[in-house]
């Protein structure tokens, strides 16, 4: 064997060992890595509903594993449907006040809450943790909140779509609305460099595509066709995998965070009409 070939084989072996160690490290520390890249909580509330003269209840409630969560309950007019609003991975409930006001104007009630580790909620966020948070929020809404289960619409945006879906599979709800949803964090990693290099080896966390076939209530999927964070095709795939009855509402020109702004009145009319008559 020539000296040149020997050095080449030595480099290949070193690269193989490095890659194997990298894969092992990712598997061992994957939960911490995922938490670092998935969750971006803001520690303080920047605004309050009072500034917009909204009627609401400031509430605290506990999760099954002992965390104390914070939320705002905005009763809608009459005895209509109420959105259990599971927000995205960044910020906190104070960054959704304008959106909430528009939902109230559309005739919907809203209960929005912060996941563990966000703003006034205790703990650290994780996949299993935010699922427990969604269930605790539902339980508060249907007990102390006084909203009957047949009036609850699980609404999740982006990361919140996974929480809304999990809640709908574990509790009785009227319907589910998933906005800008992803199929799984594994497939999301496959869309981003350098994570795409390891995505085939990653676990199927936040596996919406593996769960959505078990839905037994009506579904509405909303997605902007200009979404550069979560591919539009993921929303389409989740819609295809879901059982009937279901609806798909694309928003031309909308990105990931401006669906309700670009969608305008048609967006809110779609949400309100679906919540009122989801079947």
Q: Are residues 66 and 11 in the same domain?
A: no
Q: Are residues 6 and 74 in the same domain?
A: no
**Global pTM?**
0.88
The count of C-alpha atoms lying within 13 angstroms of the C-alpha of 67, restricted to the half-sphere facing its C-beta, is: 26
Positions marked active-site: 158, 227, 256
Q: Are residues 34 and 45 in the same domain?
A: no
35: buried, middle or exposed (CB in 10 Å: 19+, 13-18, 0-12)? Answer: middle
pLDDT at 182: 97
Q: Are residues 24 and 146 in the same domain?
A: no
Q: Are residues 139 and 206 in the same domain?
A: yes
The rounded distance, in Å, linking the Cα atoms of 182 and 159 is: 8
Closest CA to 161 of 107, 212, 110, 113: 212
Q: Are residues 31 and 116 in the same domain?
A: no
Tokens of 198: 């390891």
Q: Are residues 2 and 114 in the same domain?
A: no
The alpha carbon dihedral of 44, 255, 239, 200 has a sign of: negative
What tens digit of pLDDT does each residue of 1-30 get? 556 665 656 666 655 555 555 555 455 555
What secondary structure does DSSP assign to 182-237, as a single string? -S-HHHHHTTSTTGGGTGGGS---S-HHHHGGG--S-EEEEEETT-SSS-HHHHHH
Percentage with pLDDT > 70 across the chain: 82
Q: For 274, list phi and psi in degrees, rounded to 5.
A: -65, -45
The rounded distance, in Å, linking the Cα atoms of 258 and 253 is: 10
pLDDT at 186: 87
Q: Are residues 49 and 81 in the same domain?
A: yes
What tens digit of pLDDT does each residue of 143-176 get? 999 999 999 999 999 999 999 999 999 999 999 9
Q: Are residues 48 and 34 in the same domain?
A: no
Residues 100, 112 contacting (CB under 8 angstroms): yes
Q: Are residues 94 and 187 in the same domain?
A: yes
Closest CA to 127 of 91, 160, 83: 160
Tokens of 176: 């589910």
What tens digit of pLDDT does each residue of 177-214 get? 999 999 998 888 767 655 656 656 567 789 999 999 99
Q: DSSP 3-state assignment of 152?
A: strand
Helix (H) or strand (E) holding 70: strand 68-74
Q: Name the residue range of residue 76's domain.
A: 40-276
Mean pLDDT, residues 218-227: 98
Q: Are residues 102 and 235 in the same domain?
A: yes
- Total number of domains in the chain: 2
What secondary structure does DSSP assign to 83-150, as a single string? EEEE--SEE-GGGGHHHHHHHHHTT-EEEEEPPTTSTT--S---HHHHHHHHHHHHHHHHTTT---GG
Angle at Cα 222 formed by Cα 229 and Cα 55, nearest 5°? 100
CATH classification at residue 231 = 3.40.50.1820
Q: Are residues 180 and 227 in the same domain?
A: yes
Among 14-18, 41-45, 224-228, 256-260, the least confident range = 14-18
pLDDT averaged over the chain? 90
């Amino acid at each position: 064997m020539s000296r040149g070939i020997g050095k080449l084989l030595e480099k290949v072996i070193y690269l193989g060992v490095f890659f194997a160690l990298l894969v092992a490290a990712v598997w061992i520390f994957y939960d911490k890595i995922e938490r670092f890249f998935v969750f971006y909580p803001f520690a303080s509330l920047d605004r309050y509903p009072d500034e917009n003269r909204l009627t609401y209840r400031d509430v605290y409630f506990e999760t099954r594993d002992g965390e104390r969560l914070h939320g705002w309950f905005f009763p809608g007019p009459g005895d209509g449907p109420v959105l259990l609003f599971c927000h995205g991975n960044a910020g906190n409930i104070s960054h959704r006040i304008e959106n909430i006001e528009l939902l109230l104007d559309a005739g919907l009630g809203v209960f929005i809450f912060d996941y563990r580790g966000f703003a006034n909620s205790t703990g650290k966020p994780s996949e299993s943790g935010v699922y427990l948070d969604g269930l605790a929020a539902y339980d508060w809404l249907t007990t102390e909140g006084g909203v009957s289960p047949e009036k609850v619409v699980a609404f999740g945006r982006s990361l919140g779509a996974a929480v809304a879906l999990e809640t709908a599979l574990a509790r009785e709800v009227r319907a589910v609305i998933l906005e800008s949803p992803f199929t799984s964090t594994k497939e999301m990693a496959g869309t981003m460099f350098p994570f795409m290099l390891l995505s085939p080896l990653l676990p199927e966390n936040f596996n919406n595509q593996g769960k959505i076939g078990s839905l037994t209530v009506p579904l509405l999927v909303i997605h902007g066709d200009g979404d550069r964070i979560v591919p539009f095709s993921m929303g389409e795939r989740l819609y295809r995998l879901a059982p009937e009855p279901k609806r798909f509402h694309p928003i031309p020109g909308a990105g990931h965070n401006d669906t309700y702004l670009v969608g305008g009145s048609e967006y809110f009319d779609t949400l309100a009409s679906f919540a009122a008559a989801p079947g």
